[in-house]
């Protein structure tokens, strides 16, 4: 039902962190002048590295993919800074500058495409289907799919009858993601530019029907390649959230709600925090006070390790936690060690988006590799 369930034993996010460590370790063994593998080893390492990168995208972990791309860019920049050949260094600097510019351009264009809305004039809009049944037009609901308003040209009577005719999954049942089929169907039809009536449903092919049953609410999501589905989904989540939608079940906007709640808790407990035992209670109380739109099962903690430290221990405890992590690194000159730098960067980035050390797997990941790479050198 969820591709992330292929991470069997631990959270897919913790699994993605381990994959990232493996990727950059393999990269070191392939490119380092200190370690010179034989040809067979290079082939094996290269195949494993390619598979791990592909698997990370297959896992569809936004955190894992973001960390991979960020770390690659940083290490690429460090490598460029050490190039002695002026022409090569100049060429690589151009590439280094071009990468973020192209990324920003692509994201900006994606946002512009999302908000390139089809113009509809209420006074001229059709009121009935070709079968003579009335359309429902909710002009107050601005929810979009591919630049089209979701809640225009809707005839639920025809949708219900036509969907139940072509599918064995009932119109009023749940899809593969636990969402109501009818809402997934309405969004999917909108994404393809079809009206939400019997004619629109009849235009769906077998692949479309399968996608809807699986819980894909936009035909863009059927593609598992590239970043387009991920970027579109993030834009869609933020758009719905800004328009007053429920962020429950949506990873990006849930984190926005978590952070907003966490900031309010910090304001009320700035100096001493709430303590480690009252973290969950503090969040539950604040969600109620803020009248959060999150469903009860999604009312979780901050999903930011640094914010969690601040909430639990207050400003002085937060400073001490950061000091306890950073001071040994300075003392042992860990930032000169590729292995430690690689791990520390991955862990740091994960802590911006996760309570990495709040789970057994996360705490073990951090403590094991921190100790191994910082204190385990010869």
Q: Which tokens in the block code for residue 344?
A: 């520390």
Average pLDDT over residues 137-151: 96
CA 34-38-39 angle, 5° bins: 125
C-alpha 9/C-alpha 48 separation (Å) is: 21
Res. 350: pLDDT tops 70: yes
pLDDT-derived band at 49 (thresholds 50, 70, 90) equals very high
Q: State the chain's mean pLDDT as an integer.
A: 94
Give me the percent of the chain exceeding a pLDDT of 70. Answer: 98
Residue 73 has what pLDDT?
A: 96
Res. 378: pLDDT tops 90: no
pLDDT-derived band at 1 (thresholds 50, 70, 90) equals low
Number of Cβ within 10 Å of residue 76's Cβ equals: 14
C-alpha 71/C-alpha 25 separation (Å) is: 12
Res. 226: pLDDT tops 80: no
Of 269, 272, 271, 270, residue with least CA distance to 285: 269
Residue 77 has what pLDDT?
A: 94
Average pLDDT over residues 120-144: 96
7-35 tens-digit pLDDT: 888 999 999 999 999 999 999 999 888 88
Residue 223 has what pLDDT?
A: 82
73-107 tens-digit pLDDT: 999 999 999 999 999 999 999 999 999 999 999 99
């Amino acid at each position: 039902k969820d591709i992330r369930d292929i991470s069997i034993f631990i959270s897919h996010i913790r699994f993605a962190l381990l994959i990232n460590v493996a990727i950059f370790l393999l990269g070191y063994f392939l490119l380092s002048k200190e370690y010179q593998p034989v040809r067979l080893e290079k082939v094996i390492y290269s195949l494993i590295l390619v598979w791990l990168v592909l698997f990370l995208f297959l896992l569809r972990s936004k955190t894992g993919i973001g960390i991979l791309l960020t770390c690659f860019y940083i290490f690429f920049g460090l490598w460029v800074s050490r190039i002695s050949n002026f022409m090569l260094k100049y060429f690589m600097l151009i590439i280094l500058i071009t990468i973020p510019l192209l990324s920003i351009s692509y994201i900006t264009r994606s946002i512009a495409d999302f908000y390139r809305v089809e113009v509809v004039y209420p006074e001229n809009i059709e009121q009935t289907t070709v079968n003579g049944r009335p359309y429902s037009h909710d002009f107050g609901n601005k929810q979009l799919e591919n630049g089209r308003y979701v809640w225009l040209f809707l005839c639920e009577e025809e949708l219900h009858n036509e969907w139940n005719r072509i599918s064995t999954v009932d119109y009023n049942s749940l899809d593969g993601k636990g969402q109501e089929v009818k809402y997934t169907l309405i969004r999917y039809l909108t994404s393809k530019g079809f009206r939400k009536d019997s004619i629109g449903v009849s235009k769906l092919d077998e692949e479309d029907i399968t996608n809807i049953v699986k819980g894909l609410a936009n035909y863009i999501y059927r593609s598992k390649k590239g970043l387009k589905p991920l970027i579109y989904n993030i834009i869609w989540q933020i758009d719905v959230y800004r328009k007053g939608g429920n962020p429950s079940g949506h990873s990006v906007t849930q984190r926005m709600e978590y952070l907003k709640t966490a900031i309010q808790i910090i304001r009320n407990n700035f100096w001493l925090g709430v303590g480690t035992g009252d973290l969950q209670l503090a969040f539950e109380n604040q969600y109620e006070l803020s009248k959060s739109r999150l469903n009860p099962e999604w009312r979780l903690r901050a999903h930011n390790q640094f914010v969690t430290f601040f909430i639990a221990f207050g400003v002085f405890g937060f400073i001490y936690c950061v000091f306890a992590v950073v001071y040994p690194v300075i003392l042992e000159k860990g930032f000169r060690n590729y292995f430690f730098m690689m791990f520390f960067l991955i862990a740091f980035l994960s802590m911006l988006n996760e309570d990495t050390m709040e789970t057994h797997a996360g705490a073990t990941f951090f403590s094991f590799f921190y100790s191994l790479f910082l204190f385990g050198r010869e």
